[in-house]
Amino acid sequence: MGCCFSEPVDFDTEVNLFHFDLHRAVGKGAFGKVRVVEHKRSKKLYALKYIDKARCIKQKAIDHSFIVNLRYAFQDDENCFFVLDLMLGGDLRFHLESRGYLGENVIRFWAAELVSALVYLHKQRIIHRDLKPDNILLDAQGHAHITDFNVAIHYSERRLHTSIAGSLAYMAPEVVGRKGYTWCVDWWSFGVTLYELLFLRRPFDGRTSEKMTNSILKDSLKFPDDASKKCSANCTKFVQALLERNASQRLGCRPNGQGFQDIKNNPWLVGADWESMETKAARPPFVPDIKKANFDVTHELDEFLMVEKPLTHTKRKANPDLAKMKPEWRQLEEQFAVYDFVSTQRRSYYPHNEPITTVVRSSESEQIPVVQSVSNTLLPTTTFGERSQAGLDTTWHQHIPSKPL
């Protein structure tokens, strides 16, 4: 009586799904599904994000202590696969809903780490455009990491972007008001996120997209009556400075590369040890319980109940006929770059643009010069995107999903 064994894996070949053992599913959204995988040779655990080719355009690698980093990228005949750092601590939305308020000291610690990540992104000329609790993951030790670059974009230093992308409740006034925007919109989203972590609700809201847009554009910023019981006066002033409608006056957005210095000097974060923090030497004040599932366990039911086709290891077709493929599928075959962080020599792909010369109006009578970076259906929390009118648009994904990942 014979027994079937899987073929041996050749790790010297280009990385593919056969290099990994597939474990439990931990996430699902319009941009793709996520499950835990184990690299068969290194035995390291990662998060595998796989996206149907009909929805996938391209994904690129960035690398920072507080960003969920891409480690491998490859494709088969049906899906694109992205192997990312595994974050066992869950996202901040999960902790908000399961634990509620976590305390000012915990939130301040995460805020400093997120500031470090945003400054790094903006130095690389990247706008995240969708910062919110759902897209901030904790590792097993409790460090915060930005994830989900589905609508991230390389900003132009020649002209402003005008596309609507991200989650409406976290969008800056210059985005929803279509005034044109650059990297300063991330600092506004950061302010909304901090407000929500502190007070368990968002500062601007509305039952419809029209009402929410009007609230973002016109409503005055108000803090709850019990705000002083939740956090210090320096904390509320920090959030207030981030939620400044005038982008040139917003904390973190001062011209000539002084934005980060303003944040470092702010009384709320003035005591942060930025050097030890960036090496993760600082001990987080909140450590998630990794013995429990820090995610919605119902994600595992789809494949267990055979609601959807389960992910399996499959060999690619030899010599696909490109002429018979749809244009977007052919683009993936021709332009998708396989990535292996162990063997791939990282190459710079960031644009080298001229400085921005456009101005943005904050009112009918006032013009504000655009500041440069340090480097020289609509649902409130749903990620969506459309093509930008700015000069160089390298958005990772251009479609409009139904719910976030």
Q: What distance separates the 2 farthest-apart alpha carbons in the chain?
A: 86
Architecture of domain 17-88+292-340: 2-Layer Sandwich (3.30)
167, β-bridge pairs:
383
130: annotated active-site residue: yes
Task: Report d(CA 133, CA 350) in Å as an integer.
Answer: 27
How would residue 257 be classed by pLDDT, with cut points 50, 70 and 90? Answer: low
- pLDDT at position 357 is 30
Question: Which CATH class, in words, describes the domain spanning 91-289+352-384?
Answer: mainly alpha
Domain with CATH 1.10.510.10 in the chain: 91-289+352-384
In the chain, % of residues over pLDDT 90 = 39
Q: Is residue 343 within 8 Å of 13, Cβ to Cβ?
A: no
Task: Report d(CA 51, CA 148) in Å as an integer.
Answer: 13
* Count of other CB atoms within 10 angstroms of residue 160: 20
Task: Report d(CA 392, CA 388) in Å as an integer.
Answer: 9
Cα 153–chain centre separation: 11
Task: Report d(CA 405, CA 34) in Å as an integer.
Answer: 9
Mean pLDDT value of segment 16-36: 78
Whether 58 has a binding-site annotation, put simply, is no
Task: Report d(CA 89, CA 110) in Å as an integer.
Answer: 13
CA distances from 46 to 106, 202, 261, 277, 295 (A): 26, 32, 35, 23, 15
How would residue 311 be classed by pLDDT, with cut points 50, 70 and 90? Answer: confident
What kind and span of H or E run contains 193? helix 185-199
Task: Report d(CA 303, CA 25) in Å as an integer.
Answer: 8
**What pTM was estimated for this model as a whole?**
0.73
Report the sign of the C-alpha dihedral through residues 179, 180, 186, 187, in that order.
negative
Q: Which residues are within 8 A (CB) of 348 and not within 5 positions of it... i.e. 6 or more apart? A: none
Q: Is residue 92 within 8 Å of 134, Cβ to Cβ?
A: yes
Task: Report d(CA 120, CA 250) in Å as an integer.
Answer: 18
- pLDDT at position 169 is 95
Q: Which residues are within 8 A (CB) of 138 and not within 5 positions of it... i.e. 6 or more apart? A: 87, 89, 90, 91, 92, 95, 144, 145, 288, 294
Exactly one of 76, 85, 91, 130 is catalytic; which is it?
130
Q: Is residue 84 within 8 Å of 67, Cβ to Cβ?
A: no
How would residue 62 be classed by pLDDT, with cut points 50, 70 and 90? Answer: low
CA distances from 139 to 85, 89, 142, 195, 278 (A): 9, 5, 5, 22, 14
Q: Which residues are within 8 A (CB) of 167 and not within 5 positions of it... i.e. 6 or more apart? A: 130, 132, 380, 381, 382, 383, 384, 404
Q: Is residue 65 within 8 Å of 120, Cβ to Cβ?
A: no
Task: Report d(CA 390, CA 159) in Å as an integer.
Answer: 6
* In the predicted structure, residue 299 carries a pLDDT above the cut 90: no
* In the predicted structure, residue 26 carries a pLDDT above the cut 80: no
Domain with CATH 3.30.200.20 in the chain: 17-88+292-340
| Predicted confidence (pLDDT) per residue in 356-391, tens digit | 333 333 333 343 344 434 333 344 555 555 544 443
